[in-house]
Amino acid sequence: MQVFLKTILFLGGFFLIFQSCGEAAEPISTVFASPEKEAKINPTVKMVVIKGGEYQPFYGEDSSLVEVKDFLLDERPVTNAEYLDFVKKNPQWKRSKAKAIFADETYLQNWQDDETLPKGADPDAAVTFVSWFAAKAYAESAGKRLPTIDEWEYVAMADEESANGRDKPEYSSKLINLYNEKDRQTRKTKLSEPNYWGVYNMFDLVWEWTDDFNSIMTTSDTRSGTFDDKGLFCAAAATTSTDALNYASYMRYAFRASLKANFTVANLGFRCARDLKTTSK
């Protein structure tokens, strides 16, 4: 029932936006419409088939399982070299051209200029200082999309041996100490072990954008343990999270909650996903 209400409110919100579009069409349409169609790029990154299933999200007011459908996920984050190719083919995403509403003032700030990677940067390291808009544009130009939080977290349950390593005591403690390590983003991708799915670098290099990174920030305003961002800041989190001791997950959710779509951050990158065409029937 509550979900239904939320959906109505959400759709209602969009209706209002469109309504106001009618009256003051220009500024809002520039914000919401994709500014220019991206030119195609063809990154050669391998995509891995993730067999879907039901999973227990870390965060939520009830303990219902969420279904994740089969999908494809890049085996590693998007690299500097790949992003350079993207900006060359899509000049509107060069550092000097990107609009502030789509990428804040630190967008690609470590690059030497519009088409030169950061000094000493490894072309095979994950690209960082990219906004959600930029990541989304990149994914579209590659014929892909950003993974959802559920897809990302579903894959993040895996350790090297199993699809779900969350119950192992070392799973969280290992990640907490890993997350505490600085400047990991400068390392080359794919140097560490792949996980159960054959996916690399889910944790050890960068935080990653997800398509719906801010979806946990949309609801009510109390500390009563409802499904909202405030639960992350206080005791409510302990009652609403399905695994209160999974500190590593808290960290990822807190990180996502601190972002706005035009933010660019030194240790935040992304990887792409794609729907798997169903062949059955």
From candidates 81, 257, 261, 276, binder to another protein by CB under 8 A: 257
Least distance from another protein to the Cβ atom of residue 250, Å? 4
* Cα 62 to Cα 59: distance, rounded to the nearest angstrom: 9
Q: Enumerate residues 6+ apart whose C-beta is below 8 A from 44.
A: none
Is 138 strand, coil or helix?
helix
From candidates 93, 111, 132, 253, binder to another protein by CB under 8 A: 253
Q: Which residue, among 24, 142, 170, has the nearest Cα to 79 in the 3D structure? A: 142
Query: Does 176 interact with another protein (rule: CB under 8 A)?
Result: yes
Least distance from another protein to the Cβ atom of residue 155, Å? 21
Number of chain positions touching another protein (CB under 8 A): 33
From candidates 181, 278, 280, 281, binder to another protein by CB under 8 A: 181
* Cα 248 to Cα 176: distance, rounded to the nearest angstrom: 5
Question: In the chain, what's the furthest Cα-to-Cα distance?
Answer: 56
Q: Enumerate residues 6+ apart whose C-beta is below 8 A from 177.
A: none
Q: Is the dihedral of CA 109, 114, 117, 123 positive or negative?
A: positive
Least distance from another protein to the Cβ atom of residue 72, Å? 29
Q: What tokens were used for 219?
A: 């609801």
Q: What tokens were used for 217?
A: 């920030």
**Residue 77 contacts residue 201 (beta carbons within 8 Å):** yes
| Token pair 């789509």: residue | 102
* Cα 277 to Cα 166: distance, rounded to the nearest angstrom: 29
Query: Does 224 interact with another protein (rule: CB under 8 A)?
Result: no
Query: Does 119 interact with another protein (rule: CB under 8 A)?
Result: no
Least distance from another protein to the Cβ atom of residue 167, Å? 15
Query: Does 245 interact with another protein (rule: CB under 8 A)?
Result: yes
Q: Name which of 182 and 281 has its Cβ closer to another protein.
A: 182
Other CB atoms within a 10 A radius of the CB of residue 190 amount to 17
Least distance from another protein to the Cβ atom of residue 216, Å? 11
Q: Of 16-24, 48-56, 152-160, 242-250, which segment contacts another protein by CB under 8 A? A: 242-250
Q: Is the dihedral of CA 98, 104, 105, 107 positive or negative?
A: negative
Query: Does 101 interact with another protein (rule: CB under 8 A)?
Result: no
Least distance from another protein to the Cβ atom of residue 13, Å? 20
Q: Name which of 10 and 233 has its Cβ closer to another protein.
A: 233
Least distance from another protein to the Cβ atom of residue 177, Å? 5
Binding residues vs another protein (CB under 8 A)? 106, 169, 172-173, 176-177, 179-183, 221, 229-230, 232-234, 237, 245, 247, 250-251, 253-255, 257-259, 263, 265-268
